[in-house]
């Protein structure tokens, strides 16, 4: 917490330092830019840190306290049945001069994931399927820290940029079974772009990230403890390594490169393409860092967009897509004795392939102090998860369609209201599953429950309101609330969130 407060103080100092450069920036214009759907869509360009130069018209600093209560009875069991949290965040972007931009973010969150089963680790989406698991589980408390920042500079026709981030977390449970997970990730990105023919910019970037997780599981009760499984995908587990190993260390690296081209003046069109590679090893620290398994993942992604402006009306078309292939390799061992494992081979049994494509439209209109925006979208999601031997398969094809609408009104220079509404439908039009039912009954039940959720149709409605006003202590304060309701056949997921903060 002390690190968050220190960086927040630094951001306030930066905000005051550059206040003289912002005297002509009205708070309403900053708020209008902050909520702009157009800016959020064009944010795809800023994956290159060099392209942060020119991404905003106004310098901005925001600080906020927030809380969230999320109940998700419809979810895979490894992610729990909801989340309660509170936190604080500070963000700043400062335009030092027409050629220099700096930015930084800091956040702290604390809370708990409710009723997590079959997963005693953190960051399930990063390390799956190789997690430690048991049938007891329970609420998992957590603390998360995140810091990031960057610098972008114009040098004649070139722009260069650098960005870095650090994230750390602690998750634990104070009743049996008692996991303690500490994670850390550090990333560094470098990028550059060049003005061509005075009309568009061509850019390239590279990003590297190091990820680690230390896992330790303990028990206090003398009455025995549940079986601890070393899972390997779709309910399968390594029998040799299950039941006795309580410590593990995950170490991974990811590398990403990308190219982009976009219109230089107002960024009314853009095209990005990128490739990312991720490798993660699971090491058993109780056995001299024995390498138990490995994840190899490759991802290809792209985005393109075009915006048209006529008088007070703007409209545009946007496409985002990605294809991900994750493979899991298990190492095979000869158990010479209780403390000596000799690797005799390896086998690739797990495979998860997914393809996502989403098409978005944008229609926005400004009329005096009122701005309204409509964002309809349509998406395709295809996924196939497979474990080779014994054979287990889940194959799901979905379509997602809906629309978001935003209404923004300025009442006076220090008073504004933003209201956002959204509605979407997720329809599973093809599904297929084959499970190996020769394992434990509790594991088989978990697979069936997860598949029932994954293959369910549902609709979702959301409401987000933010009110900005002048306050004696914080002149540019705001309060906000958000509600999201997801309706399934027999139950529903509900999220409530509230925020209070200020914009400078």
Domain ranges for the chain: 2-503
Mean pLDDT, rounded, for 323-349: 87
pLDDT band with cut points at 50, 70 and 90 for residue 7: very low
Q: How many angstroms separate the Cα of 426 from the Cα of each of 322, 355, 488?
A: 19, 16, 10
Q: Is the pLDDT of residue 16 over 70?
A: no
Q: How many angstroms separate the Cα of 7 from the Cα of each of 4, 58, 115, 316, 493?
A: 5, 22, 34, 38, 35
| Cβ 162 vs Cβ 205: under 8 Å | no
**238 or 17: whose pLDDT is higher?**
238
Mean pLDDT, rounded, for 463-486: 92
Half-sphere exposure (CA, 13 Å, Cβ side) for 36?
A: 19
Instruction: Choose among 154, 141, 330: nearest CA to 232.
Output: 330
Q: Is the pLDDT of residue 349 over 90?
A: yes
**For the residues of 23-57, what is the DSSP string, one character each?**
TT--HHHHHHHHH-HHHHHHGGGGGSGGGGTTS-S
CA geometry: angle 232, 252, 77, nearest 5 deg: 40
Mean pLDDT, rounded, for 54-69: 95
**245 or 4: whose pLDDT is higher?**
245
Q: How many angstroms separate the Cα of 119 from the Cα of each of 131, 247, 289, 439?
A: 6, 14, 21, 17
The predicted pLDDT at position 339 comes to 64
The predicted pLDDT at position 293 comes to 96
The predicted pLDDT at position 10 comes to 43
Q: What are phi and psi of 12, to 5 degrees?
A: -65, -40
Q: Are strands 100-116 and 132-133 parallel, antiparallel or unpaired?
A: unpaired
Residue 478 corresponds to which tokens in the numbers above? 């705001």
Mean pLDDT of the chain: 92
* Per-residue model confidence as pLDDT tens digits over 153-204: 999 999 999 999 999 999 999 999 999 999 999 999 999 999 999 999 999 9
Q: What are phi and psi of 177, to 5 degrees?
A: -70, 145
- What global pTM score does this model have? 0.92
Architecture of domain 2-503: Beta Barrel (2.40)
List, in sequence order, the alpha helices (H) in 92-214: 124-127
Number of C-beta neighbours around residue 199 at 10 A: 9
């Amino acid at each position: 917490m002390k690190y968050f407060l220190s960086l927040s103080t630094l951001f306030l100092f930066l905000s005051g330092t550059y206040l003289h450069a912002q005297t002509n920036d009205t708070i309403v214009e900053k708020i209008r830019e902050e909520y702009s759907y157009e800016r959020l869509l064009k944010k795809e360009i800023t994956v290159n840190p060099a392209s942060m130069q020119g991404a905003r018209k106004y310098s901005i600093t925001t600080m906020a306290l927030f809380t969230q209560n999320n109940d998700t009875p419809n979810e895979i069991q490894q992610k729990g049945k909801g989340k309660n949290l509170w936190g604080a965040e500070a963000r700043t972007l400062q335009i030092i001069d027409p050629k220099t931009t700096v930015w930084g973010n800091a956040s702290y969150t604390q809370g708990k994931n409710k009723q997590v089963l079959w997963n005693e680790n953190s960051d399930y989406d990063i390390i799956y399927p190789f997690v430690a698991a048991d049938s007891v589980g329970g609420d998992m408390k957590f603390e998360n820290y995140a810091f990031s920042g960057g610098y972008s500079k114009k040098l004649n026709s070139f722009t260069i940029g650098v960005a870095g981030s650090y994230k750390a977390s602690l998750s634990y449970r104070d009743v049996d079974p008692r996991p303690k997970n500490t994670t850390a990730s550090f990333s560094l990105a470098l990028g550059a772009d060049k003005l061509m023919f005075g009309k568009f910019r061509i850019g390239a970037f590279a990003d590297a990230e190091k990820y680690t997780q230390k896992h330790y599981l303990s028990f206090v009760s003398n009455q025995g403890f549940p079986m601890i499984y070393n899972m390997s995908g779709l309910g399968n587990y390594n029998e040799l390594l299950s039941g006795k190993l309580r410590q593990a260390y995950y170490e991974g690296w990811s590398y990403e490169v990308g190219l982009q081209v976009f219109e230089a003046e107002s960024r009314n069109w853009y095209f990005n393409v990128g490739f990312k590679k991720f490798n993660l090893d699971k090491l058993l620290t109780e056995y001299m860092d024995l390498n138990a398994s490995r994840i190899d993942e490759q991802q290809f992604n792209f985005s393109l967009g075009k915006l048209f402006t006529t008088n007070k009306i703007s409209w545009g078309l946007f496409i985002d897509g990605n294809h991900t292939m994750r493979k899991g390799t298990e190492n095979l061992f000869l158990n010479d004795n209780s403390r000596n494992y000799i690797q005799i081979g390896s086998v690739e049994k797990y495979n998860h392939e997914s393809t996502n494509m989403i098409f978005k439209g944008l229609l926005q209109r400004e009329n005096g102090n009122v701005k309204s925006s409509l964002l309809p979208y349509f998406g395709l999601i295809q996924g196939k998860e497979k474990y080779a031997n014994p054979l287990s398969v889940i194959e799901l094809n979905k379509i997602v369609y809906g629309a978001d609408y935003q209404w923004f009104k300025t009442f006076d220079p220090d008073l504004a209201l933003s209201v956002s509404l959204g509605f979407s439908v997720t329809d599973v039009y093809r599904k297929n599953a084959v499970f190996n039912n020769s394992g434990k009954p509790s594991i088989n039940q978990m697979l069936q429950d997860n598949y029932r959720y994954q293959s369910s149709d549902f609709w979702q409605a959301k409401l987000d309101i933010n009110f900005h006003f002048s306050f004696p202590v914080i002149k540019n304060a705001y309060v906000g609330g958000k509600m999201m309701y997801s309706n399934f056949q027999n139950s529903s997921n509900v999220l409530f969130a509230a925020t209070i903060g200020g914009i400078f």
